[in-house]
Structure 1
């Protein structure tokens, strides 16, 4: 593919993102995954931890309009669900109400097709990116999408209610009040906890929240980071570990004490915010570790 064709493809991708963003705002569908800020935080943390080789590879794969900022495209996978309807089941895992996760039992879509869940998607797009060194220019756009999907799904799997109960669709059918506003429990974890933290503690500045989490990574959690990064059996990514942590966090923190029409205020917010911060940190650290293994 010549340089003109590559520029045209990049331009089409930019136009597609703008159009999908407009549709997203216009139709107000349910949102799945960390909100825009949550995904941005995961990717900003990850980008700051990339090796030199991974920095170069990510820069090569990012669309030009991203201006080398991985965080700016981390919500892309949510915005293209209208075009890629097949991708919707790849954002989550449904489990029975027993607070455990098993890949063979749980990683499937509503039609029972195995591997169609966020853990399977992470394995798939990791494998695709491992071919990047031998990929031709013709495959460049596919690898760009693989990077954007992997970056997004690594965030999703660390949102506790993305490994949630099938009966309530990961908290999407549990109606609550976030202070005085109506919400569903899933959205509280996607967005409300993060937005409330930004408003109260960070002057509505997402970069300030990133800085605070980064400080915890190098201080409070410093002794745990190596374990977060490590994959057993020399695997490139370990989504089953992340998913098992997720359903435990969902049971211990997200679902605990919540019923239909519960009013969630300071007691819930202040006790759950450390869990959200930790999962955002783990997502960023593990995304970086995965990309460093892929491109190292």
Structure 2
């Protein structure tokens, strides 16, 4: 859904470039590639740390630590991945070699806006068991898909097309179309209108990711994909995906084609920009700035205060007014989806813009 919200807000010239970058089966749309990074994750385990970042000592709700004491996965994480793949796309300027960096970037910007991808406690909530709608679910899966699926099921309006070709042409005809309409039409246009400038701004003095390691990532990691990436279409035939996101089956399938001629920079895992104590970033992504605010949600609301990690603790039901009701009243999930989609659109509009074109920011108007 992040990809679809982004698609709505792409500049027409950016959409034209997607047609040249993506395989024909994608129909110039970001949604079919959004789950690709998850599909290859088990096969190419060197990419796994790119989906998350864990601060040392982080243990929400007791205390939230986001880099103050360093990082568990300091060199390869969702922050450095967004940085590196944004750079690869910016340098590529729309050629076919941008395909794979684009697939990664679309997915990782979504991951960066799911709070549990930023918390290390019990593997980002994968090891924290609860009840949700009376069923056993881990906390991560509730936030990855459970809440969204419930919201889609219970939304009774926005089933008819909106008076906006810009919005309607980007919807894939899926069960979540009404949910996207609601988020865009009421959320982005009304509820959060005054917040958009802040969402889309990066710090004027750069995005100082507190990266302290001076050591290079081991060669086995930095050359992992380059040395082992086989035919992606063959991979698709042999791949038996692990646990998929709850809504993954709603996206129409995308045959994964042969991958040839990738530049080393597109597949390298070694951070090339984020080094030492910080960096001035002169391009549109500022992932540390984004994730710093989102991580705080782990202490504010994501982790129930009554959860203790103690063996034998009775499972806590999350489908309550105190927990899920408050998340709904604050529209936290919808807000995160909107933020992620708009930020992805901004990054792509600016990264793929021709020099001097004046294209930038997010394409609003909804005509």
Q: With structure 2 as the length reference, what TM-score do the two structures score? A: 0.63
Distance 1:239 1:183, change over 3 A: same
CA distance in 1, matches of 2:108, 2:132: 26
Aligned to 1:276: 333
Aligned pairs for 1:6-21 within 5 A: none
Aligned to 1:192: 146
Aligned to 2:137: 183
Q: Which residue, out of 210, 217, 224, partners 2:188?
A: 217
**Count of residues paired in the alignment:** 245
CA distance in 2, matches of 1:191, 1:258: 22
- The Cα shift of 1:232 comes to 2.3
CA distance in 2, matches of 1:100, 1:117: 16
| Long gaps (5+) in structure 1 | 1-40
Q: Secondary structure at the match of 1:176?
A: strand
Say if 2:319 is the partner of 1:265.
yes
Q: Which residue, out of 9, 22, 27, partners 1:62?
A: 22
Aligned pairs for 1:106-117 within 5 A: 106=71, 109=73, 114-117=74-77
CA distance in 2, matches of 1:134, 1:178: 43
| Long gaps (5+) in structure 2 | 160-173, 205-281, 308-312, 354-367
CA distance in 1, matches of 2:348, 2:146: 29
- The Cα shift of 1:103 comes to 8.4
Distance 1:294 1:258, change over 3 A: farther
Q: Which residue, out of 120, 130, 136, partners 2:80?
A: 120
Q: Secondary structure at the match of 2:54?
A: strand
Q: Secondary structure at the match of 2:285?
A: coil
CA distance in 2, matches of 1:52, 1:104: 44
Aligned pairs for 1:86-165 within 5 A: 86-95=46-55, 96-97=58-59, 98-102=63-67, 105-106=70-71, 109=73, 114-133=74-93, 140=96, 142-164=97-119
Say if 2:13 is the partner of 1:43.
no
CA distance in 2, matches of 1:246, 1:161: 9
CA shift digits 1:223-282 (9 cap, x unpaired): 111211112234320101121122111111111335152111131222223111100000
Contact 1:158 1:279 in 2 (8 A): yes
- The Cα shift of 1:197 comes to 0.5
CA distance in 1, matches of 2:192, 2:140: 26
Q: Which moved more, 1:96-105 or 1:208-217?
A: 96-105
CA distance in 1, matches of 2:26, 2:137: 32
CA distance in 1, matches of 2:303, 2:175: 28
CA distance in 1, matches of 2:340, 2:47: 20
CA distance in 1, matches of 2:178, 2:352: 29
Aligned to 2:291: 243
Say if 2:173 is the partner of 1:230.
no
Contact 2:109 2:344 in 1 (8 A): yes
Contact 2:110 2:340 in 1 (8 A): yes
Contact 1:44 1:70 in 2 (8 A): yes
CA distance in 2, matches of 1:88, 1:190: 16
CA shift digits 1:109-136 (9 cap, x unpaired): 3xxxx3211011000100100111385x
Distance 1:159 1:152, change over 3 A: same
- The Cα shift of 1:68 comes to 1.7
Say if 2:230 is the partner of 1:173.
no
CA distance in 2, matches of 1:69, 1:104: 40
- The Cα shift of 1:104 comes to 8.3
- The Cα shift of 1:195 comes to 0.5
